[in-house]
């Protein structure tokens, strides 16, 4: 099994007129991939594998090979713009001619649109080597890029749509909201030659944009990715780099898995030991002990505020995940009174408690109050509407075997541990609702009865989503079968070690978030979809990029673009071109398979 991350495939520089540009320097540290422990094929996250010899798979790869050999004409400035963009826009009509950026080109915007216009200036400056002037709108100024906030008379654009009109002498970008302008900016960047994504000046490139009229808006409101600093801590700068890659693709939700059995990664003022003690562990260290190189740490409150602001400037909402009642080992190491065996744990030094944790708290009223205090501070730091509380994989057998928990069930008139689990979740839901937030949980929160305000994230297939939607609850699709990006994406013998499973890019592209069992009214409860990058075998930023891309490119097209426009061949044509953008941006993507 390979432990190295393959380099992105060779860029077709001669074919599309690119000049070489250096790899973006990144800081990589932490556990070597070779040090990661093996994983059983029966691991709980391993799903039924998608067979690599099916005809559809062969066709996809054969098409990929043909795309990689395309001539230069396929990628020239006057090509059909819709075939070069990811995600594919709702509509794009090519027009004759090109718009040419020069140092004299002006960016103009008035009022609140100026903030988004300034972002465009900042995004174009590094590769172009000059900063475009940002000024007030002028009707007769050319060449000009005009950004404007304006109500949509058609009602089609919604809260995130935009219209982009590129003519030889001007570009007009109109949207009803700043988010729409921002997404239009990402499309405009993709219409430029791929070197525009370079962080350094690129010489010898004509910065031209094909003339085109685009109307675009997303199919789903929730377009998410999950990262997991609980298993291997992710430095703040790496989180921000990941946010930049998300923004380029029009994702708008970043779920951060902040707590688990292997680490607590957020400062809580009322309970300082959560970070002081609970952060001194990670996935590899817990399993290999003194032989491991640890990657642990935590985010201070100021760190969190900075990450949230950075994401918000890119119209990404950060969704914190504080796991409960299971995956709480780090919390019980820090505060043993939360566990089912408080006296036994409290009598041990913290470094020895890690070997004794059961990964589930005792759902006493005192535990509920403790976790509600934690969530109060979390809601102060994260202004978004949604707070994720996990709720998955609680080994309720420990509660079943506890005389204390049996007595509590009798006291609460609960018939079994599933109802005890539901009782616990409902206490948390009520607390978040009182603070004006919506609770999100993995689909196990359905067992024993769903909390009134809960949103269900369906990961064990789609059954949880169907149940939630039929009950009138919102749901986000996150099934292992298509969205677990910690799974293998190619043959195991040639890929870095992963947790199991098989989710290649073509399978992601064929995912449909709306189950056919739902009626149109029920389908409205499907908010969107999210991919998971669980961190057990993802110790650093470079590896995280490799596991995310290009699969995230396929997912964003699934959840942004119209279903009826989905086409494997056209997607591959656009993806092959898009990888040159990722290369320019310094994103360490996995190359496409060149052979069937």
> Would you call 555 helix, strand, or coil by DSSP?
helix
Number of domain units in the chain = 2
The CATH number of whichever domain residue 104 belongs to comes to 3.30.379.10
**CATH number of the structural domain spanning residue 274:** 3.20.20.80
Catalytic residue among 260, 262, 321, 536: 260
527 belongs to a structural domain? yes
pLDDT given at position 153: 74
State the sign of the Cα–Cα–Cα–Cα dihedral 530, 536, 541, 544.
Answer: negative
Phi then psi for residue 84, to 5 deg, are -115, -5
Is 80 inside a domain boundary? no
pLDDT of residue 554: 98
Q: Is the same domain home to 244 and 201?
A: no
pLDDT tens for the chain, 596 residues: list them.
444 455 544 333 222 222 222 333 332 223 233 333 333 323 333 333 333 333 334 444 444 444 444 333 333 444 455 569 999 999 999 999 999 999 999 999 999 999 999 999 999 999 999 999 999 876 567 799 999 999 987 788 999 999 999 999 999 999 999 999 999 999 999 999 999 999 999 999 999 999 999 999 999 999 999 999 999 999 999 999 999 999 999 999 999 999 999 999 999 999 999 999 999 987 777 776 656 677 789 999 999 999 999 999 999 999 999 999 999 999 999 999 999 999 999 999 998 998 888 889 999 999 999 999 999 999 999 999 999 999 999 999 999 999 999 999 999 999 999 999 999 999 999 999 999 999 999 999 998 888 888 999 999 999 999 999 999 999 999 999 999 999 999 999 999 999 999 999 999 999 999 999 999 999 999 999 999 999 999 999 999 999 999 999 999 999 999 999 899 988 988 999 999 999 999 999 999 987 53
Can 393 be counted among the known catalytic residues?
A: yes
In this structure, the answer to whether residues 458 and 522 fall within a common structural domain is yes
The domain of 202 spans 91-216
- Quote the pLDDT of residue 296: 86
Whether 334 and 212 share a structural domain: no
Residue 55 falls within a domain, yes or no? no
Q: Which of 146, 327, 525, 543 is catalytic?
A: 327
* Co-location of 318 and 246 in the same domain: yes
Do 265 and 352 reside in the same domain of the chain? yes
Q: Which residues contact 92 (CB under 8 A, 6 or more apart)?
A: 80, 81, 82, 85, 212, 213, 214, 216
CA distances, 157 to each of 190, 209, 215 (Å): 20, 23, 8
Among candidate residues 192, 216, 240, the one where a domain is terminated: 216
Catalytic residue among 110, 244, 393, 565: 393
Active site residue 327: yes
541-548 and 551-560 are packed helices; what angle lies between their axes, rounded to 10 degrees? Answer: 50
CA distance 379 to 301: 12
Beta-strand runs (E) in 417-494 = 438-442, 455-458, 475-477
- Is 51 among the catalytic positions? no
What pLDDT is stored for residue 39 in this prediction?
33
Both 205 and 234 in one domain: the answer is no
Q: Does residue 407 sit in helix, strand or coil?
A: helix
pLDDT of residue 423: 96
Q: Are residues 347 and 486 in the same domain?
A: yes
The last residue of one of the domains, among 199, 216, 233, is 216
Strands 170-175 and 162-166: antiparallel
Tell me: do 274 and 129 sit in the same domain.
no
pLDDT of amino acid 284: 79
Do 245 and 99 belong to one domain? no
Q: Identify the pLDDT of residue 295.
A: 77
Give the separation between CA 464 and CA 524, rounded to whole angstroms.
15
**39: in domain:** no
Residue 23 lies in a domain: no
Q: Is residue 82 part of a domain?
A: no
pTM: predicted TM-score of the whole model, two decimal places? 0.88
Considering 216, 236, 263, which residue would you say is the last residue of a domain?
216
| 208 plus 180 within the same structural domain | yes
In a domain, 16, yes or no: no
Evaluate whether residue 361 is within a structural domain: yes
The 3 state secondary structure assigned to 52-76 is CCCHHHHHHHHHHHHHHCCCHHHHC
In this structure, are 178 and 229 located in the same domain? no
Question: Same domain, yes or no, for 377 and 321?
Answer: yes
């Amino acid at each position: 099994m390979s432990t190295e991350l393959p380099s992105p495939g060779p860029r077709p520089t001669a074919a599309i007129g690119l000049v070489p540009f250096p790899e973006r320097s990144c800081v990589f540290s932490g556990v070597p991939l070779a040090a990661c422990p093996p994983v059983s094929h029966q691991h709980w996250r391993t799903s039924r594998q998608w067979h690599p010899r099916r005809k559809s798979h062969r066709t996809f790869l054969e098409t990929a090979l043909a795309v990689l050999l395309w001539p230069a004409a396929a990628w020239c400035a006057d090509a059909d713009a819709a075939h070069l963009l990811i995600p594919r826009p709702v509509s794009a009509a090519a027009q004759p001619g090109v718009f040419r950026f020069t140092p004299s080109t002006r960016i103009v915007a008035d009022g609140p649109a100026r903030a988004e216009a300034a972002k465009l200036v900042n995004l174009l400056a590094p590769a172009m080597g000059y900063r475009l002037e940002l000024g007030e709108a002028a009707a007769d100024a050319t060449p000009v890029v005009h950004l404007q906030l304006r109500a949509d008379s058609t009602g089609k654009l919604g809260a995130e749509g935009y219209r982009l009109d590129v003519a030889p002498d001007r570009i007009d970008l109109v949207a009803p909201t700043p988010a729409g302008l921002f997404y239009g900016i990402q499309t405009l960047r993709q219409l430029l030659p791929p070197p525009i994504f370079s962080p350094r000046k690129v010489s010898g490139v004509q910065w031209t944009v094909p003339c085109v009229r685009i109307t675009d808006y997303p199919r789903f409101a929730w377009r998410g990715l999950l990262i997991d600093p609980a298993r291997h801590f992710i430095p703040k700068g790496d989180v921000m780099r990941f946010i930049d890659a998300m923004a380029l693709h029009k994702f708008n939700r970043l779920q951060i898995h902040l707590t688990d059995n292997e680490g607590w990664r957020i400062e809580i003022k009322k309970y300082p030991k959560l970070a002081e003690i609970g952060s001194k562990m990670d996935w590899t260290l817990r399993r290999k002990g003194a032989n491991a190189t640890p990657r642990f740490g935590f985010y201070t409150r100021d760190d969190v505020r900075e990450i949230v602001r950075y994401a918000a400037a890119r119209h990404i909402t950060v969704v914190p995940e504080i796991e409960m009642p299971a995956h709480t080992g780090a919390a019980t190491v820090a505060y043993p009174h939360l566990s089912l065996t408080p006296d036994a744990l409290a009598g041990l030094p913290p470094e020895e408690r890690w070997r004794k944790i059961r990964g589930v708290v005792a759902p006493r009223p005192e535990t509920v109050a403790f976790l509600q205090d934690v969530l109060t501070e979390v809601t102060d730091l994260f202004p978004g509407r949604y707070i994720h509380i996990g709720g998955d994989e609680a080994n309720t057998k420990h509660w079943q075997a506890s005389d204390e928990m049996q007595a509590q069930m009798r006291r609460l008139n609960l018939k079994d541990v599933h109802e005890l689990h539901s009782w616990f979740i409902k206490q948390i839901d009520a607390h978040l609702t009182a603070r004006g937030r919506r609770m999100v949980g993995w689909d196990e929160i359905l067992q024993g009865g769903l909390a009134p305000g809960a949103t269900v994230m369906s990961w064990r297939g789609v059954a949880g989503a169907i149940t939630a939607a039929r009950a009138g609850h919102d749901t986000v699709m996150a099934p292992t079968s298509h969205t677990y990006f910690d799974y293998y994406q190619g043959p195991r013998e040639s890929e870095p070690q992963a947790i199991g499973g098989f989710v290649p890019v073509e399978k992601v592209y064929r995912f449909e978030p709306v189950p056919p069992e739902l009626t149109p009214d029920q389908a409205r409860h499907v908010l969107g979809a999210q991919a998971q990058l669980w961190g057990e075998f993802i110790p650093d930023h470079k590896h995280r990029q490799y596991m995310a891309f290009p699969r995230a490119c396929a997912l964003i097209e699934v959840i942004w673009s119209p279903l009826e426009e989905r086409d494997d061949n056209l997607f591959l044509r656009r993806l092959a071109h898009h990888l040159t953008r990722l290369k320019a941006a310094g994103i360490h993507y996995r190359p496409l398979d060149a052979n069937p």
